[in-house]
C-alpha cells in the first residue's frame, strides 16, 4: 500500500520525537534512533519537516523490497558522520552512567555501547555498514584509553570512520509484519533503557553520583578549548530553546533555567567534594599551591610504592592508588563556579 504524505505529516506532528512517522514508512532504524534520542533532541525532528516528501517517495519506491544498484557505494555524508560521532558519544555516556560498575566495563561494555550507537546511525535509511569491522575498531581503540571516561571520544571517532569506510546499501529483504517489527524495536528499546532505569530506581544515590561525575568530566574535556565551550553550553540548553520556540512561555524560561542552574551547581558541588577528599588523602590544606601538591605527591609515592613495602603489599597498593587518584583530581584545572553562564 502506498504511503501518504498527509498521514506522514500527521504522525510527524503527533509522535515525531518518538519516531511514529518513520515506523509508518518502514524506517525502523530511524524510528529506534528517534525513540532513544527523542527526535535527536528535538532538532532532528524539526529539521525533518522539509525531508518528509523525500522519505515518502523513497518508501513508495521500495514497496517491500529495496532497490539496490549492485556494486555502488553510497555517497559520503558529513551529516551522517557527525551524527554517528554524536550518537556514539551519547550511547557511551549512558553506558558509563548505568553500566560502569561491571567488571571489564572499559574493555567490553563501553566499546560495545559506542559501536552500537554508531551502527544505529549507519543503518538509517537505505544504507548500512559492516557490523564486524565497526565494532572491531571500537574494541581495538578501547584499551588505549583504559579506565578513562574520555575514551568515549576516540572510540566513537574510530568506529565512525570505519563505518563510513565500509558504508553500503542495504541488501534486498522481504517486508516484515508490523508485530515482528514492533517486537524487535521493543527489545532494542528495553536493552537501552533497562540498565539505566534499574540504576536509577535501585541505586539512586550512586546513579546521581555517576551522572554528576560523567557530566562534570564531559564538560571538563572542553575547558581547554574556548571555542567549544559556548557550543557545549548551547547543546545543554537546546531542550530549553526548543521548548521556548514551540511554546513561547516567558514564565517557563526562568524556572527552567533555575533547574539547569541546580544541575550545574550539583555537578560543581560533587567535584568540590572530590577535591576536598583529595586534599585529605595528600594531607594538604585547601588552597595548596601546585608546587606543594607535586612535592607532597612524590613524598607519598616514595613511602607507599608497592616495591618499597614488600611486607604490606596489599595495603601499600591501596594507598598508592588513592594517592595517584588524589593527585590526578588536584592536577586538573578548577573551573570557576558560575563560569557556564
By residue range, what is the domain housing residue 20?
1-61
Tens of pLDDT, residue by residue over 253-283, are 444 445 555 555 555 555 666 778 888 888 8
Higher-scoring residue by pLDDT: 63, 318? 318
| CA distances (Å), origin 246, targets 11, 13, 34, 38, 210 | 17, 12, 18, 15, 32
Tens of pLDDT, residue by residue over 44-65, are 888 888 889 888 888 887 754 5
Residues 44 and 80 in one domain: no
Residues 78 and 174 in one domain: yes
Q: What is the average per-residue pLDDT within 205-211?
A: 62
Q: What is the average per-residue pLDDT within 117-137?
A: 92
Residues 292 and 313 in one domain: yes
Q: What is the average per-residue pLDDT within 27-49?
A: 88
Q: How far apart are CA 44 and CA 199, in angstroms?
A: 28
Q: How far apart are CA 91 and CA 329, in angstroms?
A: 25
Please count the structural domains in the chain: 3
Residues 6+ apart with CB under 8 A from 236: 260
Q: How far apart are CA 272 and CA 276, in angstroms?
A: 6
Residues 79 and 57 in one domain: no
In a domain, 68, yes or no: no
Residues 126 and 192 in one domain: yes
Q: Is 128 helix (H, G, I), strand (E, B) or coil?
A: strand
Q: How far apart are CA 135 and CA 44, in angstroms?
A: 26
CATH number of domain containing 315: 1.10.287.110
Which residue, 15, 39, 61, sits at the end of a domain?
61
The DSSP element (H or E) to which 127 belongs, if any, is strand 127-128
Residues 27 and 160 in one domain: no
Q: Which three cell numbers stand for residue 296?
A: 607532597
Contact status, residue 66 vs residue 176, Cβ threshold 8 Å:
no
In a domain, 266, yes or no: no
Residues 89 and 24 in one domain: no
In a domain, 192, yes or no: yes
The pLDDT of residue 272: 67
What is the model's pTM?
0.63
Q: What is the CA radius of gyration of the chain?
A: 24
The pLDDT of residue 334: 61
Which single residue is written with the C-alpha cell 515506523?
23
Q: How far apart are CA 288 and CA 295, in angstroms?
A: 11
The pLDDT of residue 220: 62
Residues 88 and 190 in one domain: yes
In a domain, 85, yes or no: yes
Banded model confidence at residue 78, pLDDT cuts 50, 70, 90: very high
Residues 88 and 201 in one domain: yes
In a domain, 9, yes or no: yes
Amino acid at each position: 500500500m502506498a504511503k501518504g504524505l498527509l498521514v506522514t505529516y500527521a504522525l510527524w506532528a503527533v509522535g515525531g520525537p518518538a519516531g511514529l512517522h518513520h515506523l509508518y514508512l518502514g524506517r525502523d532504524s530511524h524510528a529506534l534512533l528517534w525513540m532513544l534520542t527523542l527526535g535527536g533532541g528535538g532538532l532532528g525532528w524539526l529539521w525533518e519537516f522539509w525531508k518528509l516528501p523525500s522519505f515518502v517517495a523513497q518508501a513508495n519506491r521500495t514497496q517491500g523490497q529495496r532497490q539496490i544498484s549492485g556494486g555502488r557505494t553510497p555517497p559520503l555524508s558529513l551529516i551522517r558522520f557527525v551524527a554517528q560521532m554524536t550518537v556514539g558519544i551519547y550511547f557511551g555516556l549512558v553506558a558509563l552512567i548505568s553500566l560502569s560498575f561491571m567488571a571489564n566495563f572499559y574493555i567490553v561494555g563501553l566499546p560495545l555501547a559506542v559501536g552500537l550507537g554508531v551502527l544505529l546511525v549507519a543503518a538509517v535509511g537505505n544504507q548500512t555498514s559492516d557490523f564486524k569491522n565497526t565494532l572491531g575498531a571500537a574494541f581495538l581503540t578501547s584499551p588505549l584509553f583504559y579506565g578513562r571516561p574520555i575514551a568515549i571520544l576516540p572510540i566513537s571517532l574510530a568506529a565512525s570512520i570505519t563505518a563510513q569506510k565500509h558504508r553500503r546499501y542495504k541488501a534486498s529483504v522481504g517486508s516484515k509484519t508490523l508485530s515482528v517489527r514492533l517486537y524487535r524495536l521493543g527489545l532494542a528499546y528495553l536493552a537501552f533503557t533497562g540498565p539505566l532505569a534499574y540504576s536509577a530506581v535501585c541505586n539512586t544515590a550512586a546513579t546521581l553520583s555517576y551522572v554528576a561525575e560523567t557530566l562534570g568530566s564531559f564538560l571538563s574535556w572542553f575547558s581547554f578549548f574556548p571555542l567549544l565551550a559556548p557550543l557545549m553550553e548551547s547543546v545543554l540548553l537546546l531542550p530549553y530553546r526548543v521548548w521556548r520556540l514551540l511554546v513561547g512561555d516567558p514564565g517557563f524560561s526562568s524556572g527552567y533555567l533555575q533547574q539547569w542552574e541546580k544541575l550545574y551547581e550539583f555537578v560543581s558541588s560533587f567535584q568540590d567534594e572530590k577535591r576536598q577528599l583529595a586534599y585529605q588523602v595528600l594531607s594538604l590544606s585547601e588552597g595548596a599551591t601546585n608546587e606543594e601538591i607535586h612535592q607532597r605527591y612524590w613524598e607519598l609515592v616514595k613511602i607507599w610504592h608497592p616495591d618499597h613495602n614488600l611486607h604490606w603489599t596489599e595495603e601499600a597498593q591501596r594507598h598508592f592508588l588513592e594517592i595517584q587518584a588524589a593527585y590526578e583530581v588536584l592536577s586538573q584545572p578548577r573551573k570557576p563556579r558560575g563560569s557556564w553562564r
